[in-house]
Amino acid sequence: MGLIEELGSPAVIGGNSMAAGAAALVAADRRGLVDGLVLIGPFVRNGKMSAVQRILLRVAMARPWAATSWKSYMSKLSARRRPDDFDEYRDTVVASLRRPGYAKAFSSTTRTNHDPAEARLTDVASLTMVIMGERDPDFPDPAAEATWIAQALSASVVMIPEAGHDPQSQQPELTVESVSSFVATLKLHTGNQERVR
């Protein structure tokens, strides 16, 4: 927020995965500073998990096994189509998780409560686009989740084929094209508003 205040509006905020909730909160808190919101594979509400699933997640993300568990899960996140540098990137992430304190810090993010973001969605006035991989394993039904978010934010939706949780790295051309088109539309919308004023 401080950077936007320093550089000035208009601003477009992008939020991927759990960062989407933070992006939505900023847009809700400072409506005058954020003209556009791009949410990719977004968590803006808590998913439904059984008590057993919650316990299994806690065990898998516990410090002794976090790096190994995440290494395995990263393959699922990049379902169907992997970036050329996927193996190198995964090895770097796993090595980072094995550094003192890193696995513990990472594990705490898996317990993030998204209720504050969900509660503020109705306060977001920015034009918003939701980008979701058609095969995102973090959601039981990615299209349904994207639709729910779009309805809550009056947003447009782009479903990226052959992509999981990281369409920006799995299908960069399609993702960039979608974001570029959104920004162009946003400029036109903002320009029209300025002329009306």
**SS3 (DSSP) at 76:** helix
Provide the residue ranges of all domains of the chain, joining segments of one domain with +: 2-47+114-196, 51-109
- CA 77 vs CA 60, 167, 196: distances in Å: 16, 10, 44
pTM over 0.85: yes
- C-alpha distances in angstroms, 170 versus 1, 79, 163? 29, 9, 6
The CATH number given to 2-47+114-196 is: 3.40.50.1820
Amino acid at site 13: I
Q: Model confidence over 173-195: pLDDT tens digits?
A: 999 999 999 999 887 776 644 33
* Cα separation, 148 vs 170, whole angstroms: 24
Side-chain-facing half-sphere of 53: CA atoms under 13 Å? 6
Task: Work out the end-to-end distance of the chain between its first and last CA atoms, rounded to an integer number of angstroms.
Answer: 25
The overall longest dimension of the chain from CA atoms, in Å, is: 59
Structure tokens at 29: 């808190």
**Nearest Cα residue to 190 out of 18, 10, 4:** 10
Q: Encode pLDDT of 43-88 as tens digits.
A: 999 988 777 877 878 878 877 888 899 999 898 888 778 888 999 9
